[in-house]
Structure 1
């Protein structure tokens, strides 16, 4: 992800995580799915996806160490769709081009 950000001139890079990918929280390693289902459950939101269709999702986020990346990433969970994404840099996140 860091290489992709460098090659694109330092822009933000969004990458999807697998639900069983390991993260570290307070010294304990667990899957990203178990973290967002038990510790950080999130809030319900209505979002608009392609074609203007509105769907209800549970949105949650945290700054977590992603084990496979060996660094902290801003991780966003859209639970009703089982999507987990890691983002480089901690700037305003624009999902307008993000495919759901």
Structure 2
């Protein structure tokens, strides 16, 4: 091999090493992005699960929800007519979770 051929091979090897480095950096960058997205999704899922858990225990468990009829549309909901103090008289709105739970 002549000196010129050796220089060409060396230059090609240097270019290949640069490309391998760039590909490695891109792979690391994509892996980091994927890890961030996975962490965000896990955090969001955790907040959602906590929200559902809190709302499940903060909402009263009733057997007869507030009922609506066509005649009562636009007016107040009709209440179930059970004995006074029944837990089925009305369904209160579900409360929002505490702000600390969302962060």
> Which TM-score band (shorter chain)?
under 0.3
Task: Between the two structures, name the one with larger relative contact order (CA 8 Å, sep ≥ 6).
Answer: 1
TM-score, structure 2 as length reference: 0.21
Compare CA radii of gyration and give the structure with the larger one: 2
User: When you count strand as a share of all residues, which structure comes out higher?
Assistant: 1
User: When you count helix as a share of all residues, which structure comes out higher?
Assistant: 2
TM-score, structure 1 as length reference: 0.22
